[in-house]
Amino acid sequence: MKKPTAVCFGEILYDVFPDRERIGGAPLNVASRLSGLGIETEMISKVGDDEKGKKLISYLESKNIKTENIVKDLKHSTGVVNVNLSASGSATYEIAHPVAWDKIEISDQIKKSVREADAFVFGSLVCRDEVSRKTLFKILPEAKYRIFDINLRPPYYEKEVLIKLMEQADFIKFNDDELFEIAEMIGSPYNSLEQNLQYLSERTNTKTICVTKGRHGAVLLKDGARYYNSGFKVKVKDTVGAGDSFLASLIAGLLKKEDPQGTLDFACAVGALVAGKEGANPLVNVDEINNFMKGK
């Protein structure tokens, strides 16, 4: 049986903490976890002609992620993000601009990769620069199944761009803060999470939407049915990348046509385990996840 395939588009970078540096970027984190879960994965992005860029490509190759569509930028450096963690482990970000991943340009090879993949994963942050934004809008029509991972990073988003991306998506993932902010932004009269979820599904004509609720789990709307998970208890080290690993686990299960409720439960467990470890892409194996879900 052929492995499902996914292409992730957007930022690849270094998360710079006060005491360490870690490879990151939401699309890279999603790609890394997808590959680990048996999805044949490719990354489309840009790095600088520098040591960080070389290390990023080596990292992706070590995770069996295809890198043919990661181009070297001779003008701009590899992306970095300064990450500040609160006492509870929540993160805030200072994102350097412009950097290499802001300048992803269209090519026939990129179009071909997107056209052939079972899923195309993209986020909102990559749209902060006109070059990468234009490329994204050119390749979206090529994709079979479009997964929009909303990452609102002030000041790098605009209402009109978010609406266009949501209207073109087959699957949207929000956290609860993002859901409420965007629902209000586009005129929702509702207060509850469920009502706003339904409002956004109807407003954007998107049949699959997932909303994460931090330690309180997540809700998934899929083809008119709702699935809930109330979360798993874990001592948080840092939340960086937890939502990305959650999304990747959800995508992997849905691409493999697994039961939506079981897939959501599994994804919530993976997100919790990642939040309990340092960095965006810690090693988490399937046995560890299953034992965690059983309370072992």
Global model pTM greater than 0.85: yes
Phi–psi pair at 143, nearest 5 degrees = -80, 145
Q: 5-26: per-residue pLDDT in tens? A: 999 999 999 988 888 898 999 9
**CATH no., domain 5-293:** 3.40.1190.20
Residue 208 bridge partners (DSSP): 171, 222
3-state secondary structure 104-166: CCCCHHHHHHHHHCCEEEEECHHHHCHHHHHHHHHHHHHCCCEEEECCCCCCCCCHHHHHHHH
Low-confidence stretches of the chain (pLDDT < 50) are none
Q: Would you list the domain boundaries of the chain?
A: 5-293
The answer to whether 169 and 175 have CB atoms below 8 angstroms apart is: no
Rounded to whole angstroms, how far apart are CA atoms 195 and 203?
12
Q: How far is CA 85 from CA 98, 245, 277, 282, in A?
A: 24, 19, 14, 17
CA end-to-end span of the chain: 33
Rounded to whole angstroms, how far apart are CA atoms 287 and 78?
35
Residue 85 bridge partners (DSSP): 91
Question: Quick one: pLDDT at residue 296?
Answer: 65
For 273, other C-beta atoms within 10 Å of its C-beta total: 20
Q: Sheet with 21-24: list strands edge to edge.
A: 21-24, 13-16, 79-85, 91-95
Q: 62-85: per-residue pLDDT in tens? A: 999 999 999 999 999 999 998 888
Tokens, residue 203: 């407003």
Rounded to whole angstroms, how far apart are CA atoms 148 and 165?
7
Rounded to whole angstroms, how far apart are CA atoms 49 and 52?
8
The answer to whether 173 and 149 have CB atoms below 8 angstroms apart is: yes
